[in-house]
A and B are shown apart, each in its own frame.
Chain A
Amino acid sequence: MKDKKNISNFSVPNNYFATIKKRVFLKIAEEKLPKTTGFGIPDEYFDTIEPRIAKRIANETQPKVRRMISTRVYAYVASVAACLVLVFSLVKSSHAPTDIESVNLSAIDQYIEAGNLDIDLYELINYLSDFDEFDLNVETSLLTDSAIEEYLYMNLDDQFWVENYFDTP
């Protein structure tokens, strides 16, 4: 007895029957998965898309201003200029005049106390004698003669100076 009464001319892809079991199980597994995502969207979201995209395109198609100098050249020039400004500002700040008023007094105290001003009385006299004119401008008009005499009398030990340099009655 023959197994097949009639034979059709249909054919199947290669490995069709070998893989059918695998594919059926896969289908079963797939069926267990959720069919929807649960994602929501804002109300009327899709109605807002066209105008927003049209607006962005309109903004992008605005005529652009072309630079006369290319960005690269501009960057080089700007870099060189920035370097020059930096160098000049450093040189200038390193040669800035410093006067005694701009130095903090406590800083001077610290400098001397640290032993950096190591000069004795003789050196100081030498410094003073280097000046051609040593002007000690003391405003004496505000002081009376008697006040000056009183001060010198009380502060100068040597009577010789008083007697010889001041006209005492």
Chain B
Amino acid sequence: MTEEKELLAALRDPDQKDEAFGRLVSQYKERLYWQIRNMVLDHDDADDILQNTFIKIYRNIASFKGESKLHTWMYRIAANESITFLNQKAKRKNISFENVKMEAAKNLEADVYFEGDALQLHFQKAIATLPERQQLIFTMKYFSEHTFEELSKILDTSVGGLKSSYHIAVKKITAYIEANDIE
């Protein structure tokens, strides 16, 4: 993509870096925010992680080799930051990753930035029961427009492995929703 190449060149140029970075933030802030929010569920947490993600991008742009596309690299940083945040929270509370997510899902009931209905709330609880990797794959595939091929590059996993994980995740989620009689 020529536009991305130009942006990358500007980001590596000290004279243009800040201006180019502003464009990058403007271009990707919403996509990265929603990717993060779908993982951590809480707005304030998502906001913190989004800022950390962009700062990490700013700091490390000089060392970005260009072996993958810039946006692939950015989505990967956002995914890693989200997972790291949840794992740190789990460690701090001495509970599992899934329990941290379940707590976050339950907190949505009183969250002013959650306007969903009972099914949407239950949907989040069902996602929370999945193992860490399946949650990441499911949320990145289900709520965004990533193809399996793109996801394969972002998460550095085979397409076959991703499809398998995604299908298992869908089955578990539907089973959870049916078992809890919410439809």
Among candidates B30, B55, B112, B123, residue contacting A53 with C-beta atoms closer than 8 Å: B55
How near does chain B come to A47, taking the closest CB pair, in angstroms?
10
Q: Does B181 contact A (CB under 8 A)?
A: no
Contacts of B18 in A (CB 8 A): 54, 57
Interface residues on B, range: 35 or more
* A150 nearest CB across to chain B (Å): 84
Proximity string of chain B (52-87) to chain A, C-beta cutoff 8 Å, 1 when within and 0 when not: 001100100000000000000000000000000000
A26–B115 CB distance below 8 A: no
* B contact set with A: CB distance below 8 Å: 18, 21-22, 25-26, 29-30, 33, 37-38, 41, 43, 47, 50-51, 54-55, 58, 112-117, 119-121, 123-124, 142-143, 167, 170-171, 173-174, 177, 183
Residue of A nearest to B32 (CB): A49
Instruction: Give the residue name and chain of the B residue nearest to A40 (CB).
Output: B113
Q: By the criterion CB–CB under 8 Å, are B50 and A49 in contact?
A: yes
> Is there an interface contact between B113 and A42, defined as CB atoms closer than 8 Å?
yes
B30 contact set on A, CB distance < 8 A:
46
Min Cβ gap B173→A in Å is: 7
Instruction: Return chain B residues, CB-CB under 8 Å to A96.
Output: none
Complex interface: chain B residues within 8 A of A36 (CB): 116, 120
Supplied contacts A32-B177, A39-B113, A54-B22, 6 more A-B pairs, CB within 8 Å = A29-B174, A32-B174, A34-B116, A37-B120, A42-B113, A53-B25
B124: chain A residues at CB < 8 Å are 37
Instruction: Flag A38-65 by CB within 8 Å of B: 1 or 0 each.
Output: 1111100110011011101100100000
- Find out whether the CB atom of A37 lies under 8 angstroms from the CB atom of B171: no
CB-CB under 8 A for A52 and B170, given A38-B115, A39-B114, A46-B33: no
With A and B bound together, what is the CA distance between A38 and B111 in angstroms? 11
On whether the beta carbons of B29 and A46 are closer than 8 Å, the reply is yes
Q: Which of A26, A42, A50, A53 has the most CB of B within 10 A?
A: A53
User: How far, in Å, is B60 (CB) from chain A's closest CB?
Assistant: 13
Expressed in whole angstroms, the Cα–Cα distance for A40 and B108 within the complex equals 11
Contacting residues, chain B, for A46 (C-beta < 8 A): 29-30, 33
Q: Whole-angstrom distance between the alpha carbons of A33 and B127 in the complex? A: 11
Q: Does A30 contact B (CB under 8 A)?
A: yes
Q: Judging by beta carbons under 8 Å apart, are A57 and B55 in contact?
A: yes
B43: A residues at CB distance < 8 A: 39-42
The smallest C-beta distance from B26 to any residue of chain A, in angstroms, reads 6
- For A55, the closest partner residue in chain B by CB is B51
Give chain A nearest CB distance to B16 CB in angstroms.
15
**A33 to B123, Cβ gap below 8 A?**
yes
